[in-house]
């Protein structure tokens, strides 16, 4: 037999009777009749299959079971109250802002869709999106300048005080413009990259160690002509107009690849694959806007990767 659900009125009446230690005073406080209070308590006891109150002189007191339930009921009502306040504040003009840090790949592929979904909720709060290197964004998150960061999972020693939620995985690719001379070499040899300028992730970026280990595995500790950048706009413009090679997260150039403006060189970069997700501070409270933004980011990431 299915157990009847506990309703808000059950908790509300129970908490007031426990506070007043009297059915009559609880009825007066709640502006309902004493029989209604008694009936509600009896319903709750039947659902829980325990006695919640015992007689004490002319009044009543909580039973041992009632004491245990009081703790949980109090937390439950407090959580409901916080939820109501959060939803009400989320719809007001003075709702707290949502400040997001995003890697270039996330800004290009995920955030436009996430932003469209978020705006449909009409929360009326300020939105800030900052694009930059993973380490810089995490520093801003720790300082309270950002509310969440959508980026790569950092090294364990850099995740102290932070929570990470994985949403997808991505790897680095080596790309060139359509018609690049390197596309004519069959079989392709990695040492051919030494004859061209190479755009590299900056040394502070989270993907740089992966790239360096990849080249070491191929016996190439250093490329002679490197340009460090995290600017997707510069990288795209420079590669399209020159013979430069761009080493970048696949998501940044997904559109260029789909339009065949760029091509991926046949280099095994599977070792550079890493987790991308949502990082927040462990001690931060989540506003309604922030919670909804996280949902929108998850949906956007799922939609994007369904099309890959």
Residue 85 within a domain: yes
Q: What is the mean pLDDT of residues 187-207?
A: 88
User: Could you tell me if 132 and 144 lie in one domain?
Assistant: yes
Overall number of domains in the chain? 3
pLDDT value at residue 269: 87
What is the β-pairing status of strands 148-152 and 198-200? unpaired
Q: Decide if pLDDT at 87 tops 90.
A: no
More confident residue, 32 or 85: 32
Residue 163, helix vs strand vs coil: strand
User: Could you tell me if 176 and 251 lie in one domain?
Assistant: yes
The overall longest dimension of the chain from CA atoms, in Å, is 96
User: Could you tell me if 52 and 104 lie in one domain?
Assistant: no
Q: What is the mean pLDDT of residues 258-271?
A: 91
Q: What is the mean pLDDT of residues 194-213?
A: 87
User: Could you tell me if 285 and 154 lie in one domain?
Assistant: yes
242 is in which domain, residue-wise?
172-272
User: Could you tell me if 103 and 156 lie in one domain?
Assistant: yes
Yes or no: say if 295 and 121 are a contact pair by the CB < 8 Å rule: no
More confident residue, 175 or 58: 175
User: Quick one: pLDDT band at residue 2, thresholds 50, 70, 90?
Assistant: low
Please, where are the H alpha helices in 49-195? 64-90, 104-109, 111-119, 134-142
**Which CATH number belongs to the domain containing residue 210 in this structure?**
3.40.190.10
pLDDT tens profile 89-116:
555 555 678 999 998 889 888 999 999 9
């Amino acid at each position: 037999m299915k157990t009847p659900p506990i309703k808000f009125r059950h908790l509300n009446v129970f908490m007031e009777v426990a506070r007043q230690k009297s059915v009559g005073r609880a009825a007066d406080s709640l502006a309902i009749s004493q029989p209604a209070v008694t009936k509600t308590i009896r319903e709750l006891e039947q659902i829980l299959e325990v006695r919640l109150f015992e007689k004490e002189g002319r009044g009543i007191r909580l039973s041992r079971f009632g004491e245990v339930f009081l703790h949980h009921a109090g937390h439950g009502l407090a959580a409901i109250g916080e939820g109501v306040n959060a939803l009400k504040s989320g719809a007001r003009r003075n709702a707290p802002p949502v400040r997001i840090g995003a890697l270039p790949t996330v800004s290009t592929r995920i955030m436009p869709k996430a932003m469209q979904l978020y705006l449909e909720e009409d929360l009326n709060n300020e939105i800030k999106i900052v694009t930059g290197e993973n380490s810089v964004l995490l520093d801003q998150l720790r300082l309270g300048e950002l509310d969440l960061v959508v980026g790569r999972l950092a090294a364990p020693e850099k995740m102290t005080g932070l929570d990470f939620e994985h949403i997808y995985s991505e790897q680095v690719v080596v790309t060139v413009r359509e018609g690049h001379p390197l596309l004519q070499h069959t079989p392709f040899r990695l040492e051919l990259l030494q004859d061209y300028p190479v755009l590299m992730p900056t040394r502070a970026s989270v993907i740089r160690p992966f790239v360096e280990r990849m080249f070491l595995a191929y016996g190439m500790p250093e490329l002679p002509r490197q340009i460090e950048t995290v600017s997707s706009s510069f990288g795209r413009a420079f590669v399209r107009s020159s013979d430069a090679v761009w080493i970048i997260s696949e998501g940044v150039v997904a559109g260029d690849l789909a339009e065949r403006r760029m091509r991926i060189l046949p280099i095994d970069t599977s070792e550079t694959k890493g987790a991308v997700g949502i990082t927040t501070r462990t001690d931060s409270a989540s506003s309604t806007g922030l919670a909804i933004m996280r949902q929108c980011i998850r949906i956007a990431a799922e939609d994007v990767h369904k099309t890959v």
